[in-house]
Amino acid sequence: MTSIILLSFFGVLNLFIGFANSKKTLLPLALLFLAVVFGVNLFSWNDPQSYFNNMLTIDNYAVAFTGIMVLTTLLLVPFSKRYVDERDDNLAEFYSLLLFSLVGAVMMVSYENMLMLFVGIEILSIAMYVLAGSDKKSLRSNEAALKYFLMGAFFTGILLFGIVLIYGATGTFNITEIGAASAATDGVMSAMFLLGLLMVIIGISFKISAAPFHFWAPDVYEGAPTFFTAFMSTVVKTAGVAAFFKLMAAAFAASYATWFPTLVAITTLTLVVGNIGAVVQTSVKRMLAYSSISHAGYLLMALVAFNEHSDSSILFYSLAYSTATVAAFGILNMVKAQRGGEIYEAFNGLGKTNPLLAFVMTVSMCSLAGIPLTAGFFAKFFVFAAVLQDTNMVWLVIIAVILAAVGIYYYFRVVIAMYMHPSENLPRLEVSSFSTFMLIFIMVLTILLGIAPALLSDII
């Protein structure tokens, strides 16, 4: 709860600091705010509390996911420096919107009531609609914002409709009570309840860009400024999947047999669309957009496994995926700004000009591809292990394994470009010391979790 209050307060505070119009203080302040929130959040560990007549519950699940999302944002913020330096319009609002959208994300992992879920998603989304279009002079950015907003508003409507139908069927918004009400029906659900359930699934699937509700994602991710694309594909996705699992586990566990086939179909489709889509891309940014769809698929695999290992494997996967993605987008951001392109060829010779950047990028790509010695390997391992608890699901693991091999193809194209396509006389990229520190931190974290996954594998 303190983290929500603090984030909102810091967001407003940031707006006021913006009046001072001193660019230099904004970035360190944002880092400081996030670090404070991260620290304060940890105090709620093992101290479950419920607030506002059971609207919100801060339990270990909420604390762990809040921690990951705040950490991801913290790692991401230094990469905004160049973006911020380049323009002189209202800068404070970027950081404020970022903090506000984090408030929404935190609500999405700690709600106890469907209305809070809705409010959380809206707080998160509205900030993101603005941020996606924040590059006002870029046509692509405007297009991205409009597309995201129109589609997003439409699917939020569907989600809300679903929530209302479920309220109609059960008479409550509280997810635990919904769970109890649906368990009492002995598996015979009313049509209203089922329709509501379906609409809720569709609404959240849109938010995490699961196929077939993913069509907005590649365009929006490509059009939005890289910094916000990174935020969308990490924090928003983590919040979405965590909210999804919480909802399914608390409210719809009894109707498991009903929604299971639907979600398995969505998962399989997401894996296929994400991985196959990424193969044919020529732009690294668009490849990462598709890759984020495919990772939504792996996260959903942990959800459909739906057993006691699901939450911890979602947690581990989110962290491994988010950190690697932040590094990838951060480096892409620098490459784009200084070499003027985001196609694979823009990475040529990076291994020579910036060995550290190239190495961090390689580690991140290996982690996303799930190669041992990196966090991504154990992330996939825990997900597959969770799914294999049910031996009837072996086929899903086989599909995922084949697609993971496909993933290696497109991730390693970046590595190949960096090390094996040396190009002549390319200048060294300038990297700020903040960014370097964050990149090294991400690399160490990725390798550490790849060697000693026990640090985090069973905390919730």
Partner 1 sequence: MILTAIILFWPALAALVVLLMKGQAARTVAFGAALIEFVLALVALAGFNTASGSTQMALSFPWVESAGIGFTIGMDGISLLMVLLTTFLVPLIILSSFKHEYKNPNAFYALILFMQTGLIGVFVALDAFLFYFFWELALIPVYFIAAIWGGARRIPVTFKFFVYTIFGSLFMLAAFVYLYLQTPGNHSSEIFAFYNLNLSSESQSWIFWFLFIAFAIKMPVFPFHTWQPDTYTESPTQATMLLSGIMLKMGIYGVLRWLLPVVPLGVSQWAGLVLVLSIIGIVYASFIAIRQRDLKRLIAYSSIAHVGLIAAGIFTLNEQGLQGGVIQMLSHGINVVGLFFIIDIIFSRTNTREITSLGGITQTTPALSICFMILMLGSIALPLTNGFVGEFLLLSGVFQYNAWFGAAAGLTIILGAVYMLRMFQGVMFGPKSPATEVFADLTMNEKAVLIPLVIMVFWIGLFPNTFLSISEPAVGNLLNIIRR
Residue 103 or 365 with smaller CB distance to partner 1: 365
Which span sits near partner 1 by CB under 8 A: 16-24, 97-105, 198-206, 388-396? 388-396
When asked if residue 408 is in the footprint of partner 1 (CB under 8 A), the reply is yes
Among 161, 215, 359, 412, binds partner 1 (CB under 8 A): 412
- Give the Cα separation of 192 and 132 in Å (integer): 36
- Give the Cα separation of 250 and 200 in Å (integer): 14
Among 16, 154, 409, 437, binds partner 1 (CB under 8 A): 409
Do residues 323 and 75 lie in contact, with contact meaning Cβ atoms separated by under 8 Å? yes
Element (H, E) at 316: helix 310-339
When asked if residue 183 is in the footprint of partner 1 (CB under 8 A), the reply is no
The set of residues, in sequence order, having a beta carbon less than 8 Å from that of 336 and lying 6+ positions away, is 226, 285, 342, 346
Q: How far apart are the first and last CA of the chain?
A: 19
Burial 90-120 (b: 16+ CB within 10 A, else e): ebbbbbbbbbbbbbbbbbbbbbbbbebbbbb
Residue 5 or 420 with smaller CB distance to partner 1: 420
What is the pattern of x (binds partner 1, CB under 8 A) and - over residues 322-341?
--------------------
- Give the Cα separation of 429 and 271 in Å (integer): 34
Among 183, 253, 394, 444, binds partner 1 (CB under 8 A): 394
When asked if residue 401 is in the footprint of partner 1 (CB under 8 A), the reply is yes
Among 350, 361, 384, 443, binds partner 1 (CB under 8 A): 384
Which residues, in sequence order, are bridge partners of residue 113?
Answer: 174
When asked if residue 454 is in the footprint of partner 1 (CB under 8 A), the reply is yes
- Give the Cα separation of 429 and 337 in Å (integer): 9
When asked if residue 373 is in the footprint of partner 1 (CB under 8 A), the reply is yes
When asked if residue 298 is in the footprint of partner 1 (CB under 8 A), the reply is no
When asked if residue 391 is in the footprint of partner 1 (CB under 8 A), the reply is yes
Residue 183 or 455 with smaller CB distance to partner 1: 455
Among 416, 430, 437, 444, binds partner 1 (CB under 8 A): 416
Q: Which amino acid is at 117?
A: L
CA-to-CA separations, 80 to 104, 158, 330, in angstroms, rounded = 21, 34, 9
When asked if residue 130 is in the footprint of partner 1 (CB under 8 A), the reply is no
When asked if residue 458 is in the footprint of partner 1 (CB under 8 A), the reply is yes
When asked if residue 253 is in the footprint of partner 1 (CB under 8 A), the reply is no
When asked if residue 388 is in the footprint of partner 1 (CB under 8 A), the reply is yes
Which span sits near partner 1 by CB under 8 A: 69-77, 189-197, 297-305, 451-459? 451-459
When asked if residue 404 is in the footprint of partner 1 (CB under 8 A), the reply is yes
Among 148, 166, 419, 445, binds partner 1 (CB under 8 A): 419
- Give the Cα separation of 367 and 364 in Å (integer): 5
> Is the peptide bond between 78 and the residue preceding it cis, with omega within 30 degrees of 0?
no
Do residues 333 and 285 lie in contact, with contact meaning Cβ atoms separated by under 8 Å? no
* CA proximity to 303, closest of 295, 290, 314, 288: 314
Among 12, 150, 280, 398, binds partner 1 (CB under 8 A): 398
When asked if residue 389 is in the footprint of partner 1 (CB under 8 A), the reply is yes
The residue length of the chain stands at 460
Among 35, 356, 420, 444, binds partner 1 (CB under 8 A): 420
- Give the Cα separation of 344 and 415 in Å (integer): 9
Q: How far is the CB of 383 from partner 1 (least distance, A)?
A: 10
Q: How far is the CB of 453 from partner 1 (least distance, A)?
A: 6
Residue 149 or 419 with smaller CB distance to partner 1: 419
Q: How far is the CB of 393 from partner 1 (least distance, A)?
A: 11
Q: Locate tokens 């190495």: which residue? A: 359
Which span sits near partner 1 by CB under 8 A: 18-26, 35-43, 383-391, 438-446? 383-391
Burial 399-429 (b: 16+ CB within 10 A, else e): bbeebbebbbebbebbbebbbeeeeeebeee
Which residues, in sequence order, are bridge partners of residue 51?
Answer: 56
- Give the Cα separation of 171 and 169 in Å (integer): 6
When asked if residue 405 is in the footprint of partner 1 (CB under 8 A), the reply is yes
3-state secondary structure of 452: coil
When asked if residue 115 is in the footprint of partner 1 (CB under 8 A), the reply is no
Residue 32 or 401 with smaller CB distance to partner 1: 401
- Give the Cα separation of 94 and 210 in Å (integer): 27
Count the residues of the shown chain that bind partner 1, applying the rule CB under 8 A: 29
Residue 152 has phi, psi (to 5 degrees) of: -60, -45
Residues that bind partner 1 (CB under 8 A): 366, 371-373, 381, 384-385, 388-389, 391, 394, 397-398, 401-402, 404-405, 408-409, 412, 416, 419-421, 452-454, 457-458
